[in-house]
Every structure is written in C-alpha cells, then in structure tokens.
A and B are shown apart, each in its own frame.
Chain A
Amino acid sequence: MFESLDDAIAHAAAARTSLGELALATEAAQGLRSRAEVEAALARALAVMRGAVERGHAGDLRSVSGLVGGDAARLRAPRGPLAGTLFTEVLAGALAVQEVNAAMGVIVAAPTAGGAGVLPGVLLAIGARAGASDDRLVRGLAAAGLVGAVVAVRASLSGAEGGCQAETGAAAAMAAAAGVEVLGGTPEEAGHAVALAMQGTLGLVCDPLGGLVEVPCVYRNATGGAIALAGIEMALAGVRFPIPVDEVIDTMGEIGRAMDVRYRETAGGGLAATPTGRRLARERLVQLKRGGVTS
C-alpha cells in the first residue's frame, strides 16, 4: 500500500480514478489476494458494521463494567438543533457500534476496536442518504483503508503509542476519505477532507477510565464522527487546507511521540485521573473482580 497519501492522490488523479478504486487495485497488485477476494472481505466488514449499528440502536446493551450503554438509542429521538439531520445519524451510528464493542459484541476494528464506531457511523449514514450501492460503500471502505495504511506507516494507529489522535483521530481521517469517495468527490477533495479532519484531532489524548475501552472512548467516537463530517463538508465546498496531508499525518506522529505516557492509554492522566474518573474505575473494577457485573 502507499506510504504517502499525497502520492496516492496524485496517482489517482493522473489515472482519472478515485482513491477507493486505486486502493483496491493496489491491494490486488500486492499479490496476496485477488481483487474479488479483497472486495468480498470488505463486503463482509460492511455487513458486520451494519449489524453492529442495528444492534447498538436497540438500546439494551450495557458494557462489561456497566459504565456505558443505551446512549445510541437516545439519539433516535433527539430534541437538539440538529434533530432529524445526517449529523444526528452519524452520532447515533458511532455510539451504537462502540456500545456493542464495550458489551463484547461483534465489530470491525477500523483501525482499532477503540475507534471502531467512527467509520461505520459516517459511512453508513452518508451512504443511506445518498442511496449509495454496496459496491460504492466498499470503495469507501477501501479509500478509508488506504488512508489508515498511510497513517500506520507514517505515524501510528495505537493509543498506547500516539494517544487518541492515533485511534479516533485516525478513524475520523479515514471516515473523511470514505465520505468523499461515496459522495463522488475527487481524490484531491478526499485529501483535503482527511487533512481537515485530522487537524481537528491533533493532540487528542487517550485517557480511558480504569484503562477500559468505555469512557470517554464511546463518546469520543461520536465526536470523531462529527469532526469527519466537518472535514467532508468543508472539502466538498472547496475549502483547501494549506498544509499537505502527509505533513498533517507526520505531525500527528510527532505529537504522539512527544506525548507524556500518562496520556497514552495508561489511565494515568486526563479524564481517567479526575477524582470521579478514579472513583468510578475503582468501584467498577472491584465489582468486576468479585464477578458482580455480568453483561
């Protein structure tokens, strides 16, 4: 796969193809799997994503510790200023998948389990509104995968290495590319959507209560979806981010390397270290060890 998103965008533009098409062709050319096999695997991922969104919307799930669950269903009857819009759908979808994840349900790590809500939240909501075919959504996943592959090589996809910017931040960047692909934007627009989304998550720390993938992870997937949506909207409107996307990705890696270990999934800082964060984690972990909570 590519090690430079700027290169991939230039390739796709020169070949008059989309980023998703280029990703599928490049993956097949690596020789491990045929194009049909890659598309079938992504179609299965799409089906699992749909299943997770649906499962989460039912609203009856609780996480293993009991700290999260039921919030995706609340978004089904919202009263806020964006009620009834695509925006609310994205939030609900992202929450739904993360609630399923926290309850030990089946999800697709994209790029990780902790950031697995962002991409399905954005892709499926946009796909439904646009009436996109599954083939088109698979190309969206392929575009997202290409972006994730570049981030993996140039920066990191691990909260323990780079903080939450490397998980929900990377997921937002991937979802931005997927959204542009599904809506028929150009490769250049996809690149700007990625850069615009990622600049909005730079510096984001990984501070889960008790080290569990629950709080704030579930909510951060929803806000990650919102940031992806902002990137897509701006890029398709013609906004051009002045720093090349590769340099934005490199910046994420640089910030991750400089980030104190307290903010890299150790539960030593951020929200995890607040008085309430510490108390909740202590109470829940004690209960868990006694076997007092079951999902």
Chain B
Amino acid sequence: MVSLLDIIGPVMVGPSSSHTAGACRLGLVARALAGGTPEEARVELHGSFARTGVGHGTDRAIAGGLLGFAPDDERLRESLVLAERAGCRVTFENAKLRGTHHPNTARITVRREGHAAVLTGASLGAGRILVNEIDGFPVGLTGAYDALVLVAADLPGTVAAVAAVLSGSGVNVATLRVSRRRKGGEAIHVYELDSPLPSATVGQLRALEPVERVRLVPRIA
C-alpha cells in the first residue's frame, strides 16, 4: 500500500535517493553489525554504485552510515574526513560481485574489537534497501524492523530454545526464517521483531549452548 509519506519524502541529503539515502542506510546496517563505529571498513561497490557512486556521494553516504549518521544528516557531506578523525579507516574499491546482484549493490566488511562482519546489500530506489547476505548467509532484511540475526549449530531443538527465550522477553516476532549451508553445520536464524530486544534477552540467547553468534540489526531511520 502506497503512503503519502512514501511520495512526499524521505527528507534526505541529496542528490539521489538510491545512490545517497539508500547507501547511507546500508552503512547504518553495517555499523549495527559491528556494534558501533568500526575501526576498519572495506567497501566494494558494484554496478551503478561503482560507475556513478562517487558523483552521487555514495562513498560519503556509506561512510556517514558507518559513523551513525541518518540519511538526512548534513554531516554526510564531510563524512570521509569525519571517519578519519573518528579512527574509522574506510576504503572503497570497484568490484564485480559474483552471482546476480541488483545494479546498486555494495559489500561492506567491517572490523571492530577483533570481530569482523560482512554484509551484501542493495539500494532499491526511493531510499529503500535490501540486505541480501550477512556473513555469507542469506537474510533479506529491509531495515523496516528490529531484527535478530543468530548463527547456531544446526541441531534439533535450537529453534524451540531460541523461541522460548524470545517468548520470555515479551517481544513479538513478525517474521522468522531459518536456513543453513549444509546439514549439521551452521544455521542462520533471522527474526524480524515488532520491538527491540531487551539486553537481558540478548545475554540469555548468547548463553544458549548451540548459539555461536548473536547480532542485532536495529530498525533503520
């Protein structure tokens, strides 16, 4: 359903809703995966992002997102300098990502406090995004929900154990997807939630035996 506010909006830093506002949102998701401002980020730009990204400020928009700036934050313009000052080393390169990708796609690898995360995401137009992969697993996140992304051993009872913890938190699950690369290997659980998870719940999830990693991806402005 189209809303008036999809048409009259978003409020954003120019010049392009897909190459600037959407790119900034991808940076915001990468920041969330890092759990704060990354110390290092490697940004691979694919397709139209690679061809015209610089002229559209795609690089500054992604760097701004990594620093936590929203798409309407005028600091996006100076974000490359601000990133340097914040101790966030961002490098950009043009890449031809393997497989089929939307023309406006970026792969962002972030490092912070000894941990790394990588996302592949597309800017679909009008500022909307789709995060296709996190750490190589398919996720399909739009940033419209608070999301819980969890990597766990592919064992019987894992979904039930996670669901039991979520049920105790009182947070409603909007959507749920579980996938794996191979039987008995690592499985990825993607929960889209109607409200953010309390930090106590996150601790309980981390304490579950089969759970290897827990990532929270907040709803993106």
Could you tell me which A residues sit within 8 Å of B by CB distance? Answer: 1, 23-24, 27, 30, 32-33, 38, 41-42, 44-45, 48, 63-65, 100-114, 116, 119, 141-142, 144-146, 148-149, 152-153, 157-158, 160, 174, 210-214, 267, 284-285, 288-289, 295
Contacts and interface: CB of A to CB of B under 8 A. Distances in A.
A111 B14 contact: no
Given A113-B20, A114-B16, A213-B15, A289 B7 contact: no
Nearest to B77: A104
B14 A144 contact: no
B3 interface: yes
A49 B60 CA distance: 23
21 contacts: A23-B4, A27-B5, A33-B5, A41-B9, A63-B15, A64-B57, A101-B14, A104-B14, A106-B12, A107-B12, A108-B10, A111-B7, A113-B14, A113-B17, A144-B8, A145-B4, A146-B4, A152-B2, A210-B52, A213-B14, A288-B54
B14 A100 contact: yes
Contacts of A101: 14-15
Given A109-B127, A152-B2, 5 more contacts: A108-B8, A111-B8, A141-B4, A213-B16, A214-B15
Contacts of A112: 17, 126
Contact of A142 (B4, B6, B11, B21): B4
Given A106-B13, A113-B15, A30 B7 contact: no
A27 B3 contact: yes
Contacts of B125: 158, 160
A65 B77 contact: no
A45 B9 CA distance: 7
B74 A152 contact: no
B51 interface: yes
Interface in B103-161: 125-127
Interface of B: 1-17, 20-21, 48, 51-52, 54-57, 60, 72, 74, 76-77, 125-127
A149 B15 contact: no
Residue picked from B9, B13, B48, most chain A C-beta under 10 Å: B9
A11 B158 CA distance: 53
A108 B9 contact: yes
A284 B54 CA distance: 11
Nearest to A158: B125
A64 B58 CA distance: 11
Contacts of B54: 285, 288-289
A109 B60 contact: no
Residue picked from B2, B5, B125, most chain A C-beta under 10 Å: B2
Residue picked from A64, A101, A116, A141, most chain B C-beta under 10 Å: A64
Contacts of B2: 1, 149, 152-153
Contacts of B76: 104
Given A109-B127, A213-B16, A285-B54, A1 B1 contact: yes
Nearest to A143: B4
A169 B10 CA distance: 19
Given A104-B57, A104-B76, A212 B11 contact: no
B15 A104 contact: yes
A1 B7 CA distance: 11
A104 to B, nearest CB: 5
Contact of A108 (B1, B11, B16, B55): B11
B69 to A, nearest CB: 12
Contacts of A27: 3-5
B55 A114 contact: no
A65 B55 contact: yes
Contacts of B9: 41, 45, 108-110
Contacts of B72: 106
A19 to B, nearest CB: 12
Nearest to A32: B3
Nearest to A138: B8
B20 A104 contact: yes
A249 B14 CA distance: 27
A2 B16 CA distance: 27
A289 B50 CA distance: 11
A105 B74 CA distance: 6
Contact of B7 (A106, A110, A295): A110
B8 A42 contact: yes
A92 to B, nearest CB: 18
A144 to B, nearest CB: 7
B3 A30 contact: yes
Contacts of A48: 11
B1 A109 contact: no
B11 to A, nearest CB: 5
